[in-house]
Amino acid sequence: MIEMTIARIAEIVGGELADITAEEAASTRVTGSVEFDSRAIGPGGLFLALPGARSDGHDFAAGAVAAGAAVVLAARPVGVPAIVVRPEPGAADAASGALEFDTDGSGAAVLAALAKLAAAVAAELVAGGLTIIGVTGSSGKTSTKDLLAAVLDPLGQVIAPPGSFNNELGHPWTVLRATPDTDYLILEMSARHPGNIAALAAIAPPQIAVVLNVGTAHLGEFGSREAIANTKAELPQAVPAGGVVILNVDDTAVAAMAGKTAARVVRVSREPGSEVDVWAGPVTLDELARPRFTLHAGGDRIDVALAVHGDHQVGNALCAAAVALQCGAGLDQVATALASAGPVSRHRMQVAGRADGVTVINDAYNANPDSMRAGLKALAWMARRGGGESAGEVGGKRRSWAVLGEMAELGEDAITEHDAIGRFAVRLDVSRLIVVGTGRTMNAMHHGAVMEGSWGSESTMVDDADAALALLQAELQPGDVVLVKASNSVGLGALADALLAAAGPAADGDAVR
């Protein structure tokens, strides 16, 4: 964060000083980072006192100051220097899911203050030359954010959120990582309700916006795909006339957003077209489902070999390339950066090999119908193309395992969508399906697989991740390929980590691919 006195921060957020005099607040500067985990606080930092599942951040305020925090942003006095922002009636509802355990509005009050601080800092940095890039979409936001960071890195200093910091807490927290030395600030923007993206964009208005797709993630919250599209459109609507909006026009709902922004529109597609600005030539995949294609832009072209896995990454890479080109990168710079931009965020299409030849695709951070199909397609491709002589090879291909958990927040469509994924796995000729969980949705996935043509033990239901791991450890053979995927709440990321640890990593150069 830019350096700022405690008094100035209190003025910005409308807070009261507690356990610190006005003179001390005027002379003491916050010089470190803003943190909501007291274990991460450093000298000169600002600690956010937020409620959590097991404890309240207010209880850790004294420890944060002892660790070096200059001040605490809190909803009540905490016995150490603090800026206090009082909860308002009904404030707990404003957290919109970012703070599940905010029962008294204290968390919402601190979040509102954090947003005000981030907005002030963003405005100052933009005036100094910072470029803000916002990314939204039903799937692929985090992967695209990582690709964006890679392609912009040769152009200047980049700040991007770690993992999926894309809500009312993670968004302003990421904004406050920027400093006067930051050239590009990349922000993910997610939503659970209409208006969420507009609120995030108001904190740090983007000069460049990227819309990837409109799918069915959070369908249970929105009720319809049209409502999701309207909410995603809040991002291009927030870009001023002098800005740029990058649209993946292979998605018709995204293409329609061109008429909803005052900004200049850049269209990307997997196919050429009269209105398409950046597009990919014929796409091929290598044995690990890494895409290869020719990138076309402005009459120029260059061959691109991605380091990330899955055909679905082509659209993400095109959007990242379009942003970099708008920021002044050349095609050669973009191609070089994409070639070295492997998976960064944990549990998102991370492909790793074990010493016994088993390949694990760890995509366990999140899941919706679109991303689930993309992961299954990558699994099927690797099984077909990544063969070789191994005990796991059957009929000219490697055995494939899909270990799938629940896709959350699909509402009334949950049963239908889980049934469809079970059927899709069978149509792709996945060798074994392990359905993790025994609720109605997972019963639907298993039933769908059976009805589509699975028999015997090809589709197996297990109670939990431990049971799935035990089954895999008992039956995996050298050369098998395993996809682990579910919504993050299912906790299958730990299963994938344990699966890799069980046989040790492959030799250098093959462990993470």
Question: What percent helix, strand, coil does the chain show, rounded to 5?
Answer: 40, 20, 40
256-278 CB burial, b ≥16 within 10 A, e <16: ebbeebebebbbbbbeeeeebbb
Tell me whether residue 284 is annotated as binding: no
Tell me whether residue 140 is annotated as binding: yes
CB–CB of 353/513 below 8 Å? yes
Question: Encoding tokens for residue 461?
Answer: 């239901």
Q: Which residues lie below 8 Å from residue 127, measured CB to CB, with a gap of 6+? A: none
CB–CB of 139/215 below 8 Å? yes
- Cα–Cα distance between 260 and 231 in angstroms, integer? 12
Tell me whether residue 179 is annotated as binding: no
What phi and psi values does residue 267 have, to the nearest 5 degrees? Answer: -100, 135
Residue type, position 492, single letter = L
How long is the chain? 513
Tell me whether residue 299 is annotated as binding: no
Tell me whether residue 386 is annotated as binding: no
Number of neighbouring beta carbons within 10 Å of residue 457: 11
C-alpha distances out from residue 467 to 3, 46, 233, 340, 506, Å = 51, 43, 42, 37, 25
CB–CB of 155/184 below 8 Å? yes
- The terminus-to-terminus CA distance of the chain in angstroms comes to 35
Number of neighbouring beta carbons within 10 Å of residue 463: 11
For CA atoms 465, 467, 473, 475, the dihedral sign is negative
Tell me whether residue 129 is annotated as binding: no
Q: Which helix (H) or strand (E) holds 113?
A: helix 106-127
Q: Coil, strand, or helix at residue 46? A: strand
Tell me whether residue 143 is annotated as binding: yes
- Cα–Cα distance between 64 and 41 in angstroms, integer? 6
Helix/strand/coil (H/E/C) assignment for every residue in 225-271: HHHHHHHHCHHHHHCCCCCEEEEECCCHHHHHHHHHCCCEEEEEECC
Let me know if 148 is exposed, middle or buried by CB neighbors in 10 A (0-12, 13-18, 19+).
buried
Q: Which residues pair with 186 in a beta bridge?
A: 133
Sheet holding 432-436, edge to edge: 350-353, 359-363, 481-485, 400-404, 432-436, 459-462
User: Residues within the annotated binding site for ATP?
Assistant: 137-143
User: Residues within the annotated binding site?
Assistant: 137-143
